Structure 1
Amino acid sequence: MSVVGWISVVSLALWCWLLVGQGFFWRTDQRLPERAQGVPAQERWPSVAIVVPARDEAEVLPLSLPSLLAQAYPGTAEVFLVDDGSSDGTGDLARSLAERDGGLPLTVLTPGEPEAGWTGKLWAVRHGITRARAKEPEYLLLTDADIAHEPDSLRRLVESARGGGYDMVSQMARLRVESFWEKLVVPAFVYFFSQLYPFRWINRAGSRTAAAAGGCVLLRTEAAERARVPESIRQAVIDDVSLARAVQGSGGRIWLGLADRVDSVRPYPRLADLWKMVSRSAYAQLRHNPLVLFGTVVGLALIYLVPPVMTVTGLAGADAWAGWAGAAAWALMTGTYLPMLRYYREPWWTAPLLPFTALLYLLMTVDSAVQHYRGRGAAWKGRTYSRPEAEATPEA
């Protein structure tokens, strides 16, 4: 067998492993757990503080904030929106929406510029949690300003957390898929995330795999205090994964799944918008390590690019073994992507395009590293964050 034939066979072997050995990452059945069997209905619903960090969110706030204020929650709940130095009137808009729509009490906070060693979002979260703790809530709901919730979202989160004995319950909000590029890139984003962090592994008791979706996180206040959140993760660019690790590392039990009734309303209509979303943190995910970057590029190429290339060139006459092995690997890849496309209500025939989307992600990741070494890494809404080790570390 030729060298290209062996490369194709290795790619196929990797897909056989991914199919059954990576936590069945491709399945989409990890959804919000219902109240555990035998657990009585809530007699007293715990109090919840909803913390919303917001920086220049006037465009999406009218679509998201009213959904939080309208939560049909049987217990006590209050919304703390932290206006993180917005220049578009986010704070004033939030107040006007609350006056217009009523619902849960709203407090708008302004934390000022973040101290050295803090990312802007976590600085805002810290300010919101500090104010919320004065009310002694039993739970904190950390949710982004672009996330819209169905009226029963908070109730179901609390019921699931208490019924399942979880310290943290997180849902991967259903992202918007309306433009051509959103349809091509967004389902793959969630697919790749679940491949990296298989939800089944995260959700089983005693697991050492930890991740969360930062747009919707219900966290027990006691667990947050025990994990020293957010102080312990104050420099994290990928704050949701860092949060999950902190909670799990302090003895907490976590859960992550796909959302049915929680949606992101933020538009990413152009490829440039999606590119910026991914590239701003991709190299941070690789711990700013060039060797890990090299391994990631090689891995993405071997797993996602080799199958279609070998299928076309091999079956065209270059190497029959390579062609058939590549076609089998491409078929496995396509089959594992179908459940995610169904979840996003996208047509099945787009599944074979996954290698092209993977190529885009490979280029985004390389661009993330390039921007990092140019001093523009992890840039978001006017702020650029350095590699954590380079920052001055404040007192804990």
Structure 2
Amino acid sequence: MAVSGEIRSRPGESFPPMGERHFPPLGEIEPSEWVKELKKGSHRAQSLKKIGIVNEIGSLHRRDNHKNFSSRRSAITPAGPACFPINLFPERAARGFPENAMPPSRWASFAAEAAVPEQLVPYVRAVSDLEPLECGGFLAWRSGPALVLVGHDAGLKQGGTEQKCSRPEAARLDAAVREASSLRGIESLTVISPFRPDAAPEWAVSTKPDAYWGIPLPTDTADMAYGQKLRNQLRRARRDILTAREGWKPDHAELVEQYIRSRPFAPGTRHLFRHIGPYVEAVPDALLFAARDCEGALQGFSVGDYTALGTVFHLFAFRAPESPPGTADALLDALAAEGIRRGHTLLNLGLGINPGIVFFKRKWNATILRPHVETSWAVQRPQEAGLLGSLKKLFGM
């Protein structure tokens, strides 16, 4: 199975589907196990996949009522928050709201202004049992004793890697970190944000910095800035395939299963891929674009989320192993065209992840939108082993 984009992996090398990023696989490791490891003082970098969160998937074949979801509102379309079912899962509502729980009425606000996929509340709830909280004005996700604070302020404008944190923004994030740390039962905390929070303790572990990439969307598809090479690639692909919106079908699921069988994925990753279907059936503004040859055989598909008012999120792209060259480009072109038709102004392509995926994004003239780093720690300082640890405990150091 070749990975999305026109990047085909070498033997033994695993590229994730284009657009896949952190907010990792559900159930890869139990939160309590991760907490125990952090308490031991492990210095190994901890990513979000350690607490059972999942990431980008989605699509749904919707009726032509897209105008209600456009970010550039027409004179006859009333302005308002992103439109999606407030209560996707009624059985969860019956549980009541724990400490700092966020009522459904707040979901639309975060989703409408989403700057990163983790702020798309319908998406995260559709693929996990995580409960949304609000800490200091930031969205957070809780799974038992583990909590993830989404520190990407929706009001933070894109500005590339040179973007520095402002003092007020850093102070607000630090206040949210302290609030999250004080919640009852929280033993471990992960903050995903443009920078490492100052409130993170010295034993916190941060991942290697990455960045979100994206492209601006014009008001007309004819104004898309394609280079000559990309135009040639698209022209060639259109001779062999036809792209169109579709609902979830058995051959989509089979293509995903082929990809799962091609690599030794963790259980949580397999869970994520196999829940693309349920997600597309639950969330209105997640769309699937399929590429088929003249005989109707599926050559690939992409999924994007249009829930946010201004930003389209490119979440996943799968290709058949022998798909025609340019298949991934044709799918992304269709995804972008739908965003333009709906009035979106930005296409978020996700994190860089590796050089191959960055190459694909650069081919589309993508630029860095905002930096990104994950910082994780146990709320209580890990105990030091040996004589030094015993002496420090004895003298209260």
TM range (shorter): under 0.3
- Structure with a larger share of its residues in helix: 1
Q: More strand per residue: 1 or 2?
A: 2
* TM-score in terms of structure 2 length: 0.25
